[in-house]
Copies of this chain bind each other. A is one copy, B any other.
């Protein structure tokens, strides 16, 4: 998918982020801008702006909240990298590697504060609720690394909170700010766009888990197989452990439990995941959520923004990075 067509919108977003993060002490603001300067697709603010347009609103109505959502996203990346001890993100050293943990914690906190400083009042409660659920999801994710027996249902609830709610907040907020039809009605525009965001969010995380195993390291911007090294319970792992038996299952479990895995061990696990059918299963599951997302938009009036949202849904499960 060609994101160049969104360049006008993305430029507005980038400019607004810089305006929101212009302060002192310089070192703290530099740290808070570190990941933003390193790129990122800014898919969340884009979804917010497109959802606003899809219900007939102007992007001016949604810009501040769109930026606030990107700040919240960046805040979670910075704190997650500290918690997970991930040293690389978007092909650059993580914030805590460059600025140290104390300033990285603060940079995250600052981004979070700024998000609520700039967000439109109408969408603050949506953002705050999403942020709380992200924390719950991250705690679940960490606890899964210790728990041996995570079910698919538990995993889906975890990624709903950790990943999907923020994409849902983006599309729901955009629809509200664009003047979408009443929120309480289940067939309302706001509800439809909220469902769209939730479902692409679910697909996004499942696809991310697959990418972590199969992507090109340069494109991914971080080491391939890092989830295996960290022992993360992704849907691939859960499904593979359901399907594998005997010596192969034991091999996978042993490698997932230890921390310093060789490239050969990682390659072996990836091969066993593929042979078990787990990767195909996850690709199908991601596609299922994308289909739900797309059908949520069925009744929406035709528009360029609606088409873009349809394309983005496809992109979510096609992307290589």
Q: How large is the interface on A (under 10, 10 to 19, 20 to 34, 35 or more residues)?
A: 35 or more
Contacts of A116 in B (CB 8 A): 116, 124-125, 127-128, 131
Chain A 136-166, CB-CB to B under 8 Å as 1, else 0, gives 1011101100000000000000000000000
Assembly CA distance A287 to B285 (angstroms): 66
Which residues between 108 and 122 of chain A lie within 8 Å of chain B, taking CB atoms? Answer: 108-110, 112-117, 121
Q: Would you call A105 and B79 a contact (CB within 8 A)?
A: yes
Chain A 74-92, CB-CB to B under 8 Å as 1, else 0, gives 0000010011100000000
Which residues between 28 and 70 of chain A lie within 8 Å of chain B, taking CB atoms? Answer: 28
Assembly CA distance A299 to B132 (angstroms): 42
For the complex, is A25 an interface residue (Cβ under 8 Å from B)? yes
Query: Smallest Cβ distance from A207 to chain B, in angstroms?
Result: 25
Assembly CA distance A85 to B118 (angstroms): 32
Query: How many copies of this protein are present in the complex?
Result: 2
The residue on B at minimum CB distance from A138 is: B106
Q: Would you call A131 and B106 a contact (CB within 8 A)?
A: no
For the complex, is A291 an interface residue (Cβ under 8 Å from B)? no
Query: Smallest Cβ distance from A76 to chain B, in angstroms?
Result: 8
Query: Smallest Cβ distance from A74 to chain B, in angstroms?
Result: 13
Known: A25-B143, A27-B143. A83 touches B112 (CB 8 A): no
Known: A25-B143, A27-B139, A121-B124. A132 touches B113 (CB 8 A): yes
For the complex, is A288 an interface residue (Cβ under 8 Å from B)? no
Q: Would you call B132 and A114 a contact (CB within 8 A)?
A: yes
For the complex, is A23 an interface residue (Cβ under 8 Å from B)? yes
**A23-B132, A103-B142 given. 8 additional CB < 8 A pairs?**
A79-B106, A83-B102, A106-B138, A106-B139, A110-B132, A110-B136, A114-B132, A124-B124
A-B contacts, 20 listed (Cβ < 8 Å):
A23-B132, A23-B136, A24-B136, A28-B135, A79-B109, A82-B101, A84-B102, A103-B139, A105-B105, A106-B139, A109-B135, A110-B135, A110-B136, A112-B112, A113-B129, A114-B132, A116-B116, A116-B124, A116-B125, A117-B128
In the A-B complex, the 4 residue pairs with the closest CB atoms: A116-B128, A83-B102, A113-B132, A113-B131
